[in-house]
Structures are given as C-alpha cells and as structure tokens.
Amino acid sequence: MQDLFTSFKDNCGFGLLASIDNKPTHKNLEDAITSLSRMMHRGAVAADGKSGDGSGLLLSMPKSFMEKEAEKQNIVLPKQYAVAMLFSRNDNDCNIFKAYCEQNDLKVIMTREVPVDTNALGEYALNSLPTIKQIFVAPNSIMAFDRFEAMVYLTRKETEVELKDVKGFYIPSFSTSVILYKGLVMPTHIKEFYKDLQDEDFKISFCLFHQRFSTNTLPEWKLAQPFRNIAHNGEINSIEANRFNVRVKIGAIKSEVFSDAELTRIADIIQDDMSDSASLDNFFEFLLVNKMDFFKAARSLLPAPWQNAPQMDPELRAFYEYKSGSFEPWDGPAAVSMTNGRYIGCVIDRNGLRPAKYIITTDNRLLISSEYGVLKIPTEDIVERGRLQSGEMMGLDLKDGRVLKNEQIDNYLKQDTQYNQWLNEKMVYLQEQVNTPVSTIDEIEKSELESKQRYFNITHEILDQVIEPMLKDGKEATGSMGDDTPLAAFSKKQRNFTDFFKQKFAQVTNPPIDPIREKVVMSLNTSFGELTNILEDDATHAQRLKVVSPILSKEKFDLLLEFGDTKNPKYEACYQAKSYGTTFTSNLETTLKDLVKTIITDVKESGIKIIILDDRAVNNQNKSIPMLMVVSHLNQELLANNQRHKVSIITVTGDVYDAHMAAVLLGFGATGIYPYLLYTTVATLARKKDANIDLTITLKKIRNALNAGLMKIMSKMGIATVASYRNAKLFDI
C-alpha cells in the first residue's frame, strides 16, 4: 500500500491573481474564486456533482478579517503572529501541536474552528471530512522575525513527524504571510463550503488557485492543491530521483537559521505519503525558510534549458551551470505558480508542455492561468496579455509593486559575477584536458577477451544484432518485429542481471519527448566531485570534473584518475580516487557486504571522493558480482551512513554493451561508466575488417549510439537531463 504513494502525480488547472500594488480587496478573492470555478473542467467530478479531486486557494493573510475574528474572543492580535490551518480527527492532535509550539517558545493566542457548510460536499468528501481549525500563535519572548518564521516551520515539521501515522491529520499551512483554504470540494462550491470566504472583510492582495485532476490516485483532503508555497500543473517524472537526492543533500547541510540539533529535529525535509507536487513544495519551502533567494531557489529547481543554448548570456549560463553542481532539475511537464508572501512567480518547464497565460489589467492586477477566459475582462481593460514560453519565468514583487518579466529575472540572476569567476577557477572540463585522439582501449589478449565475452554474455547474436549496427551507423539497431524473448525470470538461458529490469515509461498524461527533434532541451552533462552545503554560495560548488556524457572514453577515464591519484601532479584532494575490485570466489553476499563496508570506511577515514568499481579481474577463477548489485547496494548504504554526498561512483565494467544496461546503472546511482569490454570488442571487430584502422571514429560511433540510446530511454519517462534520471530507479523488476 505504501508504494502507491511513490507515484502520485497531478495534471490540473492552476492560476494566480494579484494586485500589483499589494492592496488587499475582497474583489480579488471573488475574482480568484470565479477563475477557479471556470477551470472545473480540468478536474474530475462524480455523478452527484459535488465530489471531485479537490481544489483550493492559497491566500495572502486577510489581516482585517483575522483581527475581526480575534475581537469576537476579546483578543487583540499582536503585530507578529502566524496562523496554522489544521485538518484533524481529534483534539489530541491539536494538543500535540500546541505542545510543540510551547517547546519552541511560541504561545497559542487563539483557536477557532473554521465554519463550514457540509451541504457543499459530496458523499465521498463528507465521509473523510476532518475537523478544520485555525490556531494563532505568536512569539513567547522577544524574537527576530526570521527566527519566528524558523520556529513556525520547525514546530510544524516536528508535529508532522509525531503524527505521521495518524490518519486524517494534516497541516495545510502554518505561516505569517499566507493561509490555505482547500479540500475535496468542487471549485463552484468552495465559497459555499468555507463560510469565511463569504465575509466582505475577507480581503486579500493575492491568491494562488488550483483545480486538481487526480490522474492515478484516489482524491484526499491533504492532496488537494495549492500546497504551502506552490500550485503545480503537470507531472514531476524525476520525482524518485529528486526525493533521493534531497536526502543526499541533507548530509552536507549547514544552516544559518537552524542549529544542527534543530536540523535533526526537522527529520525528513520531504513529507511521506504525499504527491510529487507536495515534495517539490516541501523542498522549495525548506530553501526559502533558510533564506535562499526566492528567484534563485525557483531557478535552481526548475532551470531553463541552458546546456545547449550557446546564445544565452555567459553570465546567466554561469549561474545555471554553477547551480547544476548542487541541484538537479525537478523534471517533467510543469507549470508552477509559487509565493513566499513577498514575491510571486510562475515557471514553465524546459519543454513548455504545460500552458500559462497572463493578463495585466488597467486596475493594476496580474492574472496568470492555464487558459484565457477564466475571468471576463473587457478588451479595453487589458494593458498586456501573453503567454510564458518554454523554460520562462514571470514574477511579481509585491513590496515594490513591479511585474518582473523573464528577461528582468534573468538579469537579476546574472548580476552576481562571482559564479563565472568560480567556474573559471574551479571547474575542470575533461574534454579540454584530453590531448590525444580518443582512440585507445584496454588491450586484452584474444583468449582472455573471449573468456570475458562469454562471462558477460556477449554472444554471436549480441555481436551481430546489437554491437555491429552501432559500429556501422553510430546508433542503436532498429527492428520492425515484436520481441518474443522470454522474460529473464522464465528464461532457460543465462541472462544478464540487467535483463531482469524493464524500463518504465510515462503512461499517464505526459506527452512524449522526441529526443532527436527536441535535443536542445536534452542533456547528458555529468560532473564528479563532492556535494557541499547547498544553502551557501561559495567556490566549492564549482569544484567539479565535468564531462558531456556519463559514458567515458578511456582517455577521460584515465585523466579522471590522474586528478584522484596522490602521486600525480594533477592530484587534488577533492577528487581523491580509489579502485575496488568487484570479483569474488565463493560467497557473493559476504563479499558484497565486506566490499561496501570497506568502501564506506575509506570514505569516512581516508577522504575518498571518487569510488571506482572495477570488474576487470574477472576470469575462470574469479566471478564478478553483478555491477548493478554493487552500485545499488553501495548507493543505499552510503546514504544510510550519511556519506553519499561526499562521493561519485564510477563503474569500470564489462556488463554494459547497450543503452539499457547503462541506463540501469545510472538509474540506481552510478555517476559514470567506462565500458572497457565493449570498447575492446568493438576494436577487435573493426580490426578484423581493417588491421590499420584508426579507432577514433569507431569508438566515437559507439559512444554516440549509447548516448542516443540513453536520451531515448530518458525521454520515454519525460526526463530531459541525466542528472534528473540518476537515482530515479525507473524500472520494473
């Protein structure tokens, strides 16, 4: 049952409405509700006309309304306060929440039960309806505003951990600047359900609204959107990799906002049992509460396609390249609106697969939504209208009252010239360091080569049907017939370990990416080195060895080893490398556990940064642990020991001779692959035809074929960058 939550994805209608001058009005709320109700067709509805997938409104704090409600209880709200919106089934949940408030030097000043009209709900929503409360808190002692916000966040996270197994408990929002009204209610009935929204004193300056379309999940109150900072239309196809990589990043985090002890109390940044959109919201919120710049945080997680854009401003490109050392894209078709209370933004994915259209009106308001027509605006009242293009971002500075177009945001991101300086000083591009033609291989004697080929199952059929087409055309073989090969688990023949893993594909609502015609958004760029504190901009993030593909030539592999060899003049401690053999003679399980234990000890005590897993010692006496088994187990154990952020994993293996095999290794955590046996096999085939052949072009064709195959596999899942594919584990076993 737990596994059902790992694939939750949304494809919905979304939008935002804001007064550019940040002036709160009730009209803003009315128009936001109208806009939301006119996107009802973007969500499902049951026969009763009331049960749906969920909708919601993320609103600026309606201070005049809150003050009026406080007066009813003879309470005067202080200047500094936060409001928690709680879904719960019993009073004990609220008591636990209040106890954590007290523990974190917050005092509860008021509790109110949010008035609702259950006649607005369908049967399904009514059966799971929680009690909805608002709890007002303030600092219990003198506290800086940033510290207050940090304690608000910490209190919520601790409560979530304590009550994670309590069904029906959820905190939609707990903030000083926004409040969230959402649930399993149709957009046309949300005002009827939440009576607060009917009050003329409920005035807001902005609203993010969302109609959820539950593509492959059952509707739940907590899964309705918006979330605490974002509203998302689309799918994050790389979500498993993103969640894994957040856990990796935690190992290196040092915060100026939280102490190390408080970071431990936060536990997991990503909340369990939530959708892909919620996970993105969790991580974005964490970056914001740790005072990362709003636009830099947004563009770190949802970057423009910069890798194949030579026309991009060099300073802007430097920003994206620098951030790519710390963040992988949350990749997939997406239109995301977001806010931190001061800024509002909207980002379109790098492929432009989800629409976002905007209107600026004469009454100084900005409307962005999935489509035109959500609000009836006379033509004469429209100052400007347009749509965001692929990879673009639009924003609004509520404090200064300025609409920020994509070019203005780009200019802001690139104004810090230190990114270019750090890249020039610290980044090493291996391609620029290779002085010799890419034509060398591991020379292996004929008898040993044939023995290794038999071991790794490189049969005459593989040579003829898989490798020869790559050698001839520089691309994978194509065929028109179906594949009647038995599943590996039922095959009577020896099968490679990777044959037991079948590629998944995006099968819900995601339009497929064409990796050939849309190559400009695709990237196999790969870097090696330690991941340091993502909350701080410094030169260490630029200290990487970089290649254009995870499929390494012998020259690049040897060069990489030079940087990690303590005896080499090129040596740098941040790239210290060590090779580990993956062969065994008797007990596979014991050998694997001992190997992984040894590696982790070396990482902790000897400062190893690049792990080389090498199966070249395989022979008639030494068997090889399947490289995928080593990589995946090591990857998980490094994470469990809080060491994964320190290292890159490179495989030197005979177990890769097609794109699928490479993709599986990358999907389970390998950073780079040196397929030595494939290169030697190809060279042998080429030399049979021409003994004096220059292998430069031949080996380039093989790498081109593997690279094209990798991009094809990634594109089937709607993922455009290998950084987002690594650790995604997008395979059925």
Question: What b/e sequence results for 197-209 when a residue is b if at least 16 CB atoms lie within 10 Å of its CB, and e otherwise?
Answer: bebeebbbbbbbb
CA dihedral (703, 705, 711, 717) positive or negative: negative
CB 404 within 8 A of CB 376: no
Tell me whether the omega of the peptide bond preceding residue 486 falls within 30 degrees of 0, making it cis. no
How many helices and strands, by DSSP H and E, does the chain display? 24, 27
Q: Do 724 and 329 touch, CB atoms closer than 8 A?
A: yes
3-state secondary structure of 547: strand
Return the structure tokens found at 23. Answer: 């002036």
CA dihedral (198, 202, 206, 212) positive or negative: negative
Q: Which tokens belong to 116?
A: 């609702």
The count of C-alpha atoms lying within 13 angstroms of the C-alpha of 35, restricted to the half-sphere facing its C-beta, is: 31
The owner of tokens 């596979």 is: 588
Q: Give the H/E segment covering residue 696.
A: helix 695-716
d(CA 730, CA 733): 10
Report which residue type is found at 678.
L
Q: Which helix (H) or strand (E) holds 191?
A: helix 190-193
Tokens of 544: 């990487």
CA 264 – CA 727 distance, rounded (Å): 24
Residues 6+ apart with CB under 8 A from 109: 75, 77, 78, 81, 136, 137, 138
Active-site choice (12, 101, 207, 574): 12
Beta carbons of 225 and 12 less than 8 angstroms apart: yes
The string of DSSP codes covering 398-426 is TTTTEEE-HHHHHHHHHT-THHHHHHHHH
CB atoms within 10 A of CB 373: 11
Rg value, the chain, Cα: 28
DSSP 670: -
Cα three-residue angle 164-169-175, rounded to 5 degrees: 95
Of 83, 72, 130, 75, nearest to 106 (Cα)? 83
Q: How far apart are CA 639 and CA 635, in angstroms?
A: 6
Q: What share of the chain is helix, strand, coil (3-state, %, to 5)?
A: 40, 20, 40
Residue 58 to residue 210: CA distance in whole angstroms: 9
Is 12 catalytic? The answer is yes
Query: How many CA within 13 A on the CB side of residue 76?
Result: 2
Q: H or E segment at 648?
A: strand 648-652
Which residue has 């093989």 as its token pair? Answer: 702
Task: Indicate the helix (H) or strand (E) that contains 708.
Answer: helix 695-716
**Residue 250 contacts by C-beta under 8 Å, 6 or more apart in sequence?**
263, 269
Strand order in the sheet with 428-429: 428-429, 545-547, 526-528
What are 532's two structure tokens?
A: 């340091």
Residues 6+ apart with CB under 8 A from 521: 305, 308, 350, 351, 390, 391, 513, 720
**DSSP state, residue 312:** S
Closest CA to 572 of 418, 436, 428: 428
Residue 350, Ramachandran bin (φ over 0: left; ψ between -120 and 50: alpha; else beta): alpha
> Does 378 sit behind a cis peptide bond, omega within 30 degrees of 0 on the bond before it?
no
Catalytic residues: 12
